[in-house]
Structure 1
Amino acid sequence: MAHPVDVHVGKRIRHRRWLTGMTQQQLAEQVGIKFQQIQKYETGANRVSASRLWDIADSLTVPVSFFFEGLDGASEAGSDKTSVPADLMGDKEALDLVRSYYAIPENQRRRLFELARVLSDVA
């Protein structure tokens, strides 16, 4: 059985890779391994070594600490006044929404953001 931390780190690798639009093959090539190894990391089946995590973080342009964010999030999630899921980056729909949002030209994006903010205040 996979360790919960390995599963969490793997999910964070997958979510960041999705967010950047990178395939497993592309990430594997940048890190210098086979894509099957990326698959095993992402499912938590294999533990990522410190040096490999460093290379993955570099390829995905995030600090190594990114992969550990949210490990203690369960206790903090209840104190948040919004109903945002604890693992927001684990939701493929949310990731697709973020990608689509950033594909909108900046001036329109700001207007959309203000509209969403007003609508959420009303709800």
Structure 2
Amino acid sequence: MKHPVDVHVGKRIRHRRWMVGMTQQQLADSVGIKFQQIQKYETGMNRVSASRLWDISRTLGVSIGFFFEGLSDENPDRGVDPDLLANKEAMELVRAYYAIPEAQRRRLFDLARVLSDAA
């Protein structure tokens, strides 16, 4: 049975890999494993060891903590909304957002927050 934390970490791996435009094969090659293992990590079917998570985090350019963001101590299976990570439009929007230079991105973020508060 899949543990909710393993599923969450796998979704965060997939999310970040997609954000940087990397294929499963490229990530696997970078950390020295087969792409099928990346598939198993991303679905939560296999648990990612600490050393492998370290390698993946370095390859994807994030801290190890990134993979645990959004987890709740009280209910680990209520982390990042799985529908958000599965929604291609939302993911494309996030990718486009991070392609914007930081100063402009901050202004866009402030505008989005004002618009959402007004809605």
- State TM-score, norm by structure 2: 0.77
Percent of paired sites with the same residue = 74
Measured against aligned partners, the alpha-carbon deviations of 1:44-76 in whole angstroms (never above 9, x if no partner) come to: 11111110010001001111111111120787x
Q: Distance in 2 between matches of 1:106 and 1:54?
A: 26
The whole-number CA distance in structure 1 between the counterparts of 2:12 and 2:21 is 14
The unaligned stretches of length 5 or more in structure 2 are: none
Equivalent residue pairs, number: 114
Aligned to 2:15: 15
Alignment partners' CA distance in 1, 2:28 and 2:90: 24
Match of residue 116, structure 2, among 94, 117, 120: 120
- The residue matched to 1:9 in structure 2 has which SS? helix
Going from structure 1 to structure 2, the CA distance change for 1:107 and 1:21 (only over 3 Å counts) comes to same
If the length of structure 1 is used for normalisation, what is the TM-score?
A: 0.75
2:58 corresponds to: 58
Q: Which has the larger radius of gyration?
A: 1
> Which residue pairs with 1:79 in the alignment?
none
CA RMSD for the aligned pairs?
A: 2.6
Task: Tell me if 1:87 matches 2:77.
Answer: no
